[in-house]
């Protein structure tokens, strides 16, 4: 089964995005503070990155901290930022050893110097790696990403003397935080919730969605395989129809 899944995943999809949801509920169900739920969630991140590499996935984007998460209680925000720092400092060596290339997507304005320093270190040390491309969505919002991309694109076009009316979808795609990467093929959300929550709105235009009942700290390779199996059972139409249906329409 595992071998079949590896072949399917590498042949059928390139980019997987995961909305990691349920840390707090996982902790509450065990009578634990939310902080311990987030810590368990970091362990799930570690397992998932390894599993994605083993399954031949080329691009993995993890929704780590949204631009709306700043509204959470200050102590929880501090805990989340601390876990982000811990993940980079503790796991960077292993990630690089496994060929993982890291890109942190999201708005960096207003981030503290220590966070910015860790982001720069993670990206620079892993820049030459050729294995799994790991995007960490931090201080990220899909609408804000599009806004920033359009502002930057318009500025460049004006500087080049180009008419902004000539902007194409490809121009916008290239100006996004994920510029140069393929759109999302599969979006996974844990915890049973069925929302996109402002995650990669442009890149998810033709994605397949799989909503899993497990809380994020319980997510592992078997859940990832289950999501990929569901993805592999679907037919992606991109607004069209399969050949067989097209023939029926023609008749």
Neighbours of 106 (CB within 10 A): 23
Where does the pLDDT of residue 6 fall: very low under 50, low under 70, confident under 90, or very high at 90 and above?
very low
Taking only the tens place, the pLDDT of each residue in 170-218 is 999 999 999 999 999 999 999 999 999 999 999 999 999 999 999 999 9
pLDDT of 246 higher than 60: no
Could you give the CA distance from residue 222 to residue 216 in angstroms, rounded to a whole number?
13
Q: Is 69 a catalytic residue?
A: yes
Annotated domain spans of the chain: 2-140+184-233
How are beta strands 59-66 and 208-211 bridged, if at all? unpaired
Where does the pLDDT of residue 10 fall: very low under 50, low under 70, confident under 90, or very high at 90 and above?
very low
Fold category of 2-140+184-233 in CATH: Undecaprenyl pyrophosphate synthetase (3.40.1180)
How are beta strands 186-189 and 15-19 bridged, if at all? parallel
Residues 6+ apart with CB under 8 A from 145: 105, 106, 107, 176, 177, 200, 201, 202
pLDDT of 14 higher than 70: yes
Query: What's the token pair of residue 137?
Result: 């969505």
Residues 6+ apart with CB under 8 A from 113: none
Catalytic-role residue among 23, 69, 91, 171? 69
For the chain, what percent of residues have pLDDT higher than 90?
A: 78
Q: Is 245 a catalytic residue?
A: no
Catalytic-role residue among 7, 21, 133, 171? 21
Could you give the CA distance from residue 27 to residue 148 in angstroms, rounded to a whole number?
35
Taking only the tens place, the pLDDT of each residue in 87-135 is 999 999 999 999 999 999 999 998 999 999 999 999 999 999 999 999 9
Average of per-residue pLDDT values in the chain: 91
Could you give the CA distance from residue 194 to residue 118 in angstroms, rounded to a whole number?
32
């Amino acid at each position: 089964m595992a071998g079949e899944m590896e072949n399917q995943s590498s042949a059928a999809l390139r980019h997987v995005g995961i909305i990691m949801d349920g840390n707090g509920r996982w902790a509450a169900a065990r009578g634990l503070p939310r902080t311990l739920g987030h810590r368990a969630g970091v362990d799930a991140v570690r397992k998932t990155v390894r599993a994605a590499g083993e399954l031949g996935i080329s691009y993995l984007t993890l929704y780590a901290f949204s631009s709306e998460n700043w509204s959470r209680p200050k102590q929880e925000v501090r805990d989340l930022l601390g876990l982000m720092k811990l993940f980079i400092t503790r796991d960077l060596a292993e990630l690089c050893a496994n060929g993982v290339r890291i890109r942190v997507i999201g708005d960096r304005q207003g981030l503290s110097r220590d966070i910015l320093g860790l982001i720069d270190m993670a990206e620079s040390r892993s820049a030459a790696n050729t294995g799994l491309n790991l995007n960490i969505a931090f201080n990220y919002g899909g609408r804000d990403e599009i806004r920033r991309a359009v502002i930057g694109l318009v500025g460049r076009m004006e500087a080049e003397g180009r008419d902004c009316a000539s902007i194409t979808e490809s121009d916008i795609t290239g100006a996004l935080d994920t510029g140069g990467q393929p759109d999302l093929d599969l979006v996974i959300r844990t915890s049973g919730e069925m929302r996109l929550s402002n995650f990669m709105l442009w890149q998810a235009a033709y994605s397949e969605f799989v909503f899993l009942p497990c809380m994020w700290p319980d997510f592992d390779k078997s859940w990832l395989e289950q999501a990929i199996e569901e993805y592999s059972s679907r037919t992606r139409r991109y607004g069209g129809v399969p050949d067989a249906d097209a023939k029926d329409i023609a008749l």
